[in-house]
Structure 1
Amino acid sequence: MEDVLDVYEMSYDPAYPTVCFDEKPKQLIGETRVPCLTMPGQSARYDYEYERNGTCNLFMFFEPLRAWRHVDITDRRTGNDWAYAMKDLVDVYFPDSERIRVVMDNLNTHIIAALYNIVEPAEARCIARKLEIHNAKAWIVAEYGGN
């Protein structure tokens, strides 16, 4: 955890941006009835029943020191989906940065090896070299050698 706190204390540097990353599953719902008409000054009224339309995943990027954010919506939350998100982070959103400090949780799909599933090994290695990943788990492993 101290590693993440140290990253948050660093000053802004466009060559080494700090980007927070997280994901969230979201249920997709639809209305089963037409909402009731309202009078001026009255709140909108919706029925409590809804239709289930599946789920999606939101990948959220946020660079707090620049007030920048971006959301990618995917069907799933697999390792390959994470790898595509990291590829876009490096190639599309921060192509001129030397390294990107990524603060994220340690979900089992957040593994550098997933990059090798989506691009050629040389390109995967270039992407991996630009990512400096920070999370509480990485600090625990570095400090104690534990799982």
Structure 2
Amino acid sequence: MTAALLELAGVTRRFGALAAADDLTLQVMPGQIHALIGPNGAGKTTACALISGEIMADAGRIRFHGRDVGALGVVSRARRGLVRAYQIVALFPSLTAVETIEVGLLAPTRAVWRPFAARARDRDLTARAAAVLARFGLDPA
């Protein structure tokens, strides 16, 4: 039996008397795609913020790859591969599509803080970035 990739069990977050998330339970298996749908104020944004670590749960458990990440902040969760993506058309307007993907590939290694010139020799990184773009039918050129 395959373990859940992401699991929320009884996750609750209150803002004063308002329960923005109340006993939220969710299980995402590897390879699955889920969507959070609902009217304004239903708690979709709160759920995403709880999962990514932008806000902490008042109760419940959040596990990623079988490990409890509930007490970890955004950066620690991101280093483990649990990140939130925003619908931004151009995150780095001055970078090419390949360079933008390279930034994302470098983030888990903390090498993102090195200047691009220091990474110019990393052909593997560029090949990996091109493969990501190709996966989505985009031309890396």
Of structures 1 and 2, the larger Rg is shown by 1
Normalised by the length of structure 2, the TM-score is 0.25
Point out the structure with the larger strand share. Answer: 1
If asked which structure has higher relative contact order (CA below 8 Å, sep 6+), I would say 1
TM-score in terms of structure 1 length = 0.24
